[in-house]
Amino acid sequence: MVQKIALEEHFLCPGFEDYWKSTVGDVDPQILSQVVGRLSDFGASRLDAMDRAGIARAVLSLSGPGVQAEPDTAIAVRKAREANDLLAREVQKRPDRYSGFAHLAMQDAKAAADELERGMRDLGFAGAMINGHTNGQYLDHPALAPFWERAQALNALVYIHPTDPVAPHPVLDGHTGLKRATWEWGFETGSHALRLVFGGLFDRYPKARLALGHLGETLPFLLWRFDSRAKLYGVKLNKKPSEYIRENIVVTTSGMFSAEPLHCTIAALGHEHVMFSADYPFESPEEAGHFMDTVPLPEDVRADIAYNNAVRLLGLTS
């Protein structure tokens, strides 16, 4: 069993249940209750699941959308800080097993930048997880320039996690099975990342760093087409879209425990840009761990994806 660091592992704290439940309205109440229990636990249950999967360290993040769905900016700023303080206390109890991603109120760019800096410098967090758009505002909005300036200065990894789209996609009407995690979230999150690429964010902030789950939300499979269509439509960038995706974006294996897409992603991005995730408790850590242990890979590549890349890219202690 190879040693692993997992990067998309969720928790829930008191006062955030209603934000989260807005994204799981179709889930059976009994299953929902079990998931809430796992999200709220930082002790034996979570650690046992990590041990069974060979996960030495989990980077914990608040299950979304959190305060990004809060209409009152002052409340969002306050509660984001509270969530980060709670997470920091839990990490301090088991610093050998847990790290954290900051939760941010993106309604206020300066407050988000300040909280990111506090999270990384004072609380020891590894970066931030942002749950998609904030009340319809995406991360390419000009008002967020102060946030990106600070994120670049801090060399922060900003992980974009899926959330519900601003409006339903009519093409999915009548097909509940295609909603959310099946297809809708991947399209939403991949499109969000492409807004940053095609909108020139990485020209303005060339050292900004982004992370995407689910092996890059399909972006690694379409690099040639992004370049081809950007040229066709006269998109003005300093580099090809594929170059930003390869240089400024890293991906994790969360919710994609299949050899074919992993091998394609490695071929497209290079294995040094791929990291392990289990997506606890929404995916089985045992399944994720078994996949990482057994998928056909050179052993040095397996070790890098499972553990070493996270140490290098997030500055984690090994």
Q: How would you label 159-169 residue by residue, b for 16+ Cβ within 10 Å and e otherwise?
A: bbbbbbbeeee
The alpha carbon dihedral of 232, 237, 116, 141 has a sign of negative
Angle separating helix axes 44-53 and 29-40, nearest 10 degrees: 90
Quote the DSSP letter at residue 56. Answer: E
Place of tokens 């995406």: 138
Q: Give the tokens for residue 184.
A: 């809708």
Tell me the chain's radius of gyration from C-alpha atoms: 18
Residue from 140, 164, 279, 304 carrying the catalytic annotation: 279
Q: How many helices (H) and strands (E) does the chain have?
A: 15, 8
CA distance 60 to 99: 6
CA distance 116 to 102: 6
Q: Strands 209-212, 274-275: parallel, antiparallel or unpaired by DSSP? A: unpaired
Nearest partner of 212 among 221, 204, 203, judged by Cα: 221
| Termini Cα distance of the chain | 17
Phi, psi for 158 (deg, rounded to 5): -110, 110
Q: Is residue 26 annotated as a catalytic residue, yes or no? A: no
CA distances from 232 to 139, 221, 236, 242 (A): 25, 19, 11, 15
Is 43 exposed, middle or buried, given 0-12, 13-18 or 19+ CB atoms closer than 10 A?
Answer: exposed
Query: What is the phi/psi pair of residue 295, to 5°?
Result: -60, 135
301 in Cβ contact with 64 (< 8 Å): no
Active-site amino acid positions: 279
